Structures are given as structure tokens and as C-alpha cells.
A = this chain, B = another copy of it.
Amino acid sequence: MTFTPAEVLRDRGIAATAQRLAVLRAVANSPHITAEGVVAFAQADIGAISRQAVYDALGVLVNKGLIRRIQPVGSPALYEDRVADNHHHVICRICGVVADVDCAVGSTPCLRAADDMGYEIDEAEVAYWGRCPTCQAEGRTTTVLDTPSSRRQNQRRTRPEELHPTHTAKPEEISRAI
């Protein structure tokens, strides 16, 4: 028996508000979406929704384990709804696209430190960094991401999908990591 998203929320003990359902749809629509991306999607989806309500909903949904929050270095926070496993991510240093990578172990912590120095470790967070197949094919070797220094003259952010316009809608698409 499949629960509706509203039922899932109530089952976790939180109200099934229109804003939260819109946020869930945004995250389902775009794995590794930014908070700002969720705001844009939800505003198009249900009309008026405040940024604060989006941040609140994201926080609650993460807290209840319904979505996951990651944050590669140099990136705003990203959200995904793949929460049933302990997977990792690979990030392209050039265009910033983020993809899921299965964890070879499956449960946390999936790695043991050689010497844990007395720490009680409950999670090994792994991020793989490199170049995606498209940036390799195009021979790109330096980032063209919208780092602050590249934003002179009010150039706006370059998104991975701008670099790769022929990209089909892969599941790992449309996040902005760096």
C-alpha cells in the first residue's frame, strides 16, 4: 500500500501543508536542488510561498528523514529525496554537476578510520571530485563556474545545463555544487 506524500508527513507527526508538499515535489523533480531552486519551483507550482517557509519546510523534512541535505565545499546546500540508502556523491570540478554514487558498503559508517583516536564515529561522509564525462569530452580543464572572481561585470551564474545544453534530463542533473 502506497502512502500519499500527505499521509507520509502526517505519519511522521507533522502537518501536511501545501508549502511542504510543494517543497517535496521540488526536491523530487530535481535531485541535488538548491534552496533557491526549491523556492523558484514552489512559487511556479503553488503561486505564493515565502522563502522562509521553504527554509522551514526543508529543515523539517530533513529533520524527519524525508529528504537529505548535502553540501559540497564551495556550494550552497543541496537537497535530495534519495534517503533509503547511504550513497555518496561525485562532483565535477569544472561544471559543478553532482551525481549519486552507490556506497560499496551500504550502511554507516561505511569506512573505518585507520586510527579513530577514541572517537565514536557514526558516519563516513565521502565526496568524489573530478571531471564529468561531458567536460572530459569537451576538453575542459578549468572551472567556468560562477565563482565570485568570475562575477565581474555582473555576469550571472553559469549552471551546468548552460555548459551542456544538449544534456538530456539525467537524474543527476540541475544542481549547482560549486
A73 / chain B contacts, CB cutoff of 8 Å: 70-71, 125
Q: Is the CB of B121 within 8 A of A102?
A: no
- Among B70, B93, B103, B118, the residue within 8 A (CB) of A132 is B118
Distance, CA A111 to CA B115, complexed state (A): 17
B131 near A120: Cβ-Cβ < 8 Å = yes
| Bound complex: CA A121 to CA B120 (Å) | 29
The reply to whether the CB of A17 lies closer than 8 angstroms to some CB of chain B is: no
The CA-CA distance from A127 to B90 in the complex, in Å, is: 15
Q: Given A120-B136, A136-B120, verify A115-B128 contact (CB < 8 Å).
A: no
Top 6 A-B pairs, shortest CB-CB distance:
A118-B133, A121-B130, A123-B129, A101-B113, A125-B127, A120-B131
Interface residues, chain A, CB within 8 Å of chain B? 70-71, 73-74, 88, 90, 92-93, 99, 101-104, 109, 111, 113-133, 136, 172
16 inter-chain pairs at a CB distance below 8 angstroms, sorted by A residue, are A71-B73, A71-B74, A90-B119, A92-B119, A93-B122, A101-B115, A111-B111, A116-B128, A117-B172, A119-B133, A120-B131, A121-B129, A122-B129, A122-B131, A123-B128, A126-B126
